[in-house]
Amino acid sequence: MISYPRSEAGEPASVQALVLGLGNAGVHLVDRLTMSGIADADFIALNTDAQSLTSSITQTKIALGQKVTRGLGTGGDPEVGYEAAQESLGEIRSALEGAQIVFLCTGLGGGTGSGVAPVIAESAREAGAIVISIVTSPFSFEGKRRSAQAREGLAGVAEFSHAVLHFENDRMSELASPRAGIEETFSISDNFLGSAVISLLEILRGGAPLPVGLADVLSVLGGGSAAALFGRGEATGDNRAHEALERALKSPLLDRGRLLAESHAIISHISGPASLSFAEVAAIMRELGKHVADSAQLFLGVTSLRDANAPITVTLIGNYSGGEHDSPPVTEHHAVERPAPRQRPTFAAPTPHHEAEESTTAPRQRYAPSPVAEEPAPLFSEPVVEPVAEAPEAPAPVSAPPAARPAATREHRPAAAPKQQPQPVAPPTAPKVKQETLQFESVARGRFEKSEPTIVEGEDLDVPTFLRMRGKTR
């Protein structure tokens, strides 16, 4: 009789995983995973903010860059985060020793996530671990600068990670009701990210009858910067297979299954009790096939659990490639070449404006002064003297040629008429302006119409003086 180890006879294999929570978002996530009681996993909280680590319930904590940040955080600067990681590089490497699989959970866009995450991913890969990064990108309303820092951080993480699960906060916010409180919204998002970590651990530990290999997971999630497709549903009862798939497809990251048609590879993992039938698995896959493109590669995993009361769980994982169906090369975890050590990012000084113009443009022409503006014409122009045309000269008389040799004769021309001097033109005289007399008329006295007038020396003083004088204005 041949005996097999329990892990080869259907029992899930033991995979020691190390879950790192980096930054405020990562620390909140590992706290929730710690409370969930996941077995065979160690949790470490890392942050540059000392206050966040103090309130964390995770047992192992690493304060990054105490000399650089003094426990106050990075202020949103990835360069400060990079310096903090270099200061604490020894502690990071010590924490990564002996880890088989490292889950790096962080939120990108800030100084700690974008600046420290690439350094940790590089250190974990140098230690020989399989690095799976689960990252989130900021909301669109957080500003363009934060989004740009998130893209740079994602590129650095993808460079040293074997697989990347990238979630967009804008899509995850659709998990909660629009009227839900902000704490409830973030709590639902944290639970969603926690279920992604748990699902990956279950897939990697999955046993009989149909396991999914680590190389399959890396080939699906090895795209790097693509947005993740993730959905998970559980159900019990008579119609449990259909309900579990329906709940998984309702995930905002799947858009009710429509985004599955844009993915080049998908992992479908089904787990349930021993009563899980082949017909239920076939029904789930037939319904799932309606949402998947014909050219997509589908990896199926089925795990039978010992718990008879366990629900059927359907997990869908993929990458949204934006319509491109070219599959990335499959990365074997045992034959991965280690990249060269990452150099500290340098920022080139901006080129002065005047130097850039001199080096890229042709030499300038000599400055030509602009023409002087003509003076305005005077109000009264001086008379213009027109020159008198001169009288045309009379043609010289032509004499008939003599028969003999002509003698040298001198041509006589009439004297030119003397030039006439121009006659001066008298300037125009300005017309005389006649001063007119204002027509002064008496007006009504208004409210004083019925009162007695003020008569002094025969003159009515109530009448204005200019009316009494009847004088002319000067």
Ordered DSSP codes for 62-82 = EE--HHHHTTB--TT-HHHHH
Looking up residue 327, the CATH number of its domain turns out to be: 3.30.1330.20
* Residues 246 and 104 occupy one common structural domain: no
Quick one: average pLDDT of 277-293? 92
* Residues 235 and 330 occupy one common structural domain: yes
Work out the pLDDT band at 214, boundaries 50, 70, 90. confident
Q: Which domain holds residue 311?
A: 228-339
Q: Which residues of 230-244 are buried (b: 16+ CB within 10 A; e: fewer)?
A: bbbbbbeeeebbebb
Residue type, 175: L
* Residues 171 and 260 occupy one common structural domain: no
Structure tokens at 75: 């202020």
Q: Considering only the C-alpha atoms of the chain, give the largest distance between any 2 of them, rounded to a whole number of Å.
A: 160
> According to the annotation, is 441 in a ligand binding site?
no
In a domain, 313, yes or no: yes
> According to the annotation, is 190 in a ligand binding site?
yes
Q: How many helices (H) and strands (E) does the chain have?
A: 14, 13
In a domain, 332, yes or no: yes
Please name which of 293, 318, 174, 168 lies closest in space to residue 232, comparing C-alpha atoms. 318
* Residues 152 and 243 occupy one common structural domain: no
> According to the annotation, is 446 in a ligand binding site?
no
| Beta-carbon contacts of residue 87 (< 8 Å; ≥ 6 apart) | 64, 65, 66, 67, 68
Structure tokens at 299: 């990896």
pLDDT, tens digit, for every residue of 388-424? 445 445 454 444 444 445 444 454 455 555 556 666 6
> According to the annotation, is 366 in a ligand binding site?
no
Count of domains forming the chain: 2
Q: Which residues of 247-259 are buried (b: 16+ CB within 10 A; e: fewer)?
A: bbbebbbbbebeb
> According to the annotation, is 11 in a ligand binding site?
no
* Residues 110 and 242 occupy one common structural domain: no
pLDDT, tens digit, for every residue of 325-361? 343 333 443 344 444 545 555 444 444 444 444 444 4
What span, in angstroms and rounded, lies between the C-alpha atoms of 373 and 355?
A: 35
pLDDT, tens digit, for every residue of 27-74? 999 998 888 877 678 899 999 999 999 999 999 999 999 999 999 999
* Residues 164 and 258 occupy one common structural domain: no
* Residues 55 and 192 occupy one common structural domain: yes
